[in-house]
Amino acid sequence: MRYARMKSSHLTLFTLTLALVGLGTASSATGQDMPLSQVLIEGQDWELVASGFKYTEGPAVDARGTLYFSDVPNSSILKLADSGRVSTIIENSERTNGLMFGPGQRLYGCRNGLRQIVAWSVDDAKTDPTVLAHDVSSNDLVVTRSGDVYFTDPKNHQVWLVTASGEKRVVDTGIGFPNGIIMWPDQKTLVVADSTSPHLWTFRVDADGSLAYKQPYYTLRMVAGKEGSGADGMTIDTKGRLYVATHAGLQIFDTTGRMSGVLLLPQTKRLSNVTFGGPNMSTLYVTSTDKIYRRKTKATGVRFAK
C-alpha cells in the first residue's frame, strides 16, 4: 500500500491517520499527551545523506553525536561526518549488525559471523575487539551505563543479558521474533520489539539485571498485506517518547504507550533502525536498506554513551 505524502507541518496524528489508508481505524487525536507537533519542525523532511550500501543497520552515536552504522552484507562499520562524508572504521566486522556506544566510549556490537557480542575501541579499531560473549545468536543490543548488555536472539526467541562482570544468561523467552531493543531514559524499563506481532514488550529491570512484569505496552499500526509489524530498531528521547522502525514507517509513542503518530517511509525500501544524533542530539537518523536519511527535530535523544 502506497501512502499519500504530506508536508511535515501537517503530520499531526489526525491528519496523518487520514492519510494512512489501509492501516485500520484511526484513534482520536484528542487526549494525546505528546502529539507530533512537539517533535517535528515545520518545513523539515527526510534528507538523504548517504547511499550506495547493501544493507544499513545498527545506527549508533558517540558522545559527540557522530553517527556510526553497519553495512551487514559488506561486513563493515562506517562513520558518517556531519558533512555527509562516509569513512570505513572497521573493514572486517564479521557481519556485525546491532551497534551501540557504551561506557568508556567503546562501540558494542552483535558480531554475527563469529556468534559473539564484542566491544571495540574506535580510537584503535584495527585492534581485535574485546569479546564479551561467545556462542550466541544475536540481532540488536542495548548497553546500560554500568556496562551490562541486553541483546535479542530472534532465532531462539530469547533475550539475553551479559553483565559487566562477564556473566551470560537468558532473561526472557517466548517473543515471536525479538528484534530491536532499547531502555527508557531512567534505564529501569527495557523495551523489546516483536517483528511478527503488533506489540512492543516492556519489562521492569531488577537490581540484579533480571526482567519482570512482562507486558505488551505499545500497540503498533499494521500494514495491510504485510506479514507482522516489521518492528525493528528503536530509540528514545529525553521526554520518554519511543520511536520504532516498522513497515508503516517510523512510529512514535508517548510515555503512556499511546501513539503520537507515524512518520512516513523516506523511500519504499525497508526501514530498519533509528537513532538520535548530532551535536545537540536533536537529529533523527534512520537506516533504510541502501541509504541513510536524517531530519532535524524539536526532540532531544538520550545519550547512552558517556
Sheet with 149-153, side-by-side order of all strands: 141-143, 149-153, 158-162, 168-173
Residue 189: strand, helix, or coil:
strand
- The helix or strand, by DSSP H or E, that contains position 186, with its residue range, turns out to be none
Name 258's bridge partners: none
Closest CA to 106 of 90, 91, 122: 122
Per DSSP, 247 falls in state T
Residue 157: strand, helix, or coil:
coil
Q: How far is CA 37 from CA 47, 239, 250, in A?
A: 19, 14, 15
Residue 226: strand, helix, or coil:
coil
**Which regions in the chain score pLDDT beneath 70?**
1-33, 305-306
* Spatial separation of the C-alpha atoms in residues 32 and 52, rounded to whole Å: 39
Q: What's the grid cell of residue 209?
A: 539485571
Q: How far is CA 21 from CA 15, 17, 210, in A?
A: 12, 8, 41
Residue 185: strand, helix, or coil:
coil
Domain layout of the chain by residue ranges? 8-296
Closest CA to 182 of 258, 229, 245: 245
299, 276 in Cβ contact below 8 A?
A: yes
Residue 174: strand, helix, or coil:
coil
pLDDT for 11-50, tens place per residue?
333 333 323 322 332 232 333 457 899 999 999 999 999 9
- For residue 2, the model assigns a pLDDT of 32
- For residue 200, the model assigns a pLDDT of 98
Q: What is the end-to-end Cα distance of the chain in Å, rounded?
A: 42
Where are the alpha helices (H) located in 102-169, listed in sequence order? none
* Spatial separation of the C-alpha atoms in residues 161 and 150, rounded to whole Å: 5
Burial of 62 (0-12, 13-18, 19+ CB in 10 A): middle
Closest CA to 297 of 7, 15, 46, 107: 46
- For residue 210, the model assigns a pLDDT of 98
Residues in the chain: 306
CATH 2.120.10.30 fits 8-296, yes or no: yes
Q: What's the grid cell of residue 50?
A: 548517504
- For residue 201, the model assigns a pLDDT of 98
- For residue 127, the model assigns a pLDDT of 79
Which single residue is written with the C-alpha cell 548517504? 50
Closest CA to 240 of 208, 218, 215, 266: 218
- For residue 32, the model assigns a pLDDT of 43
Q: How far is CA 29 from CA 7, 14, 259, in A?
A: 18, 5, 10
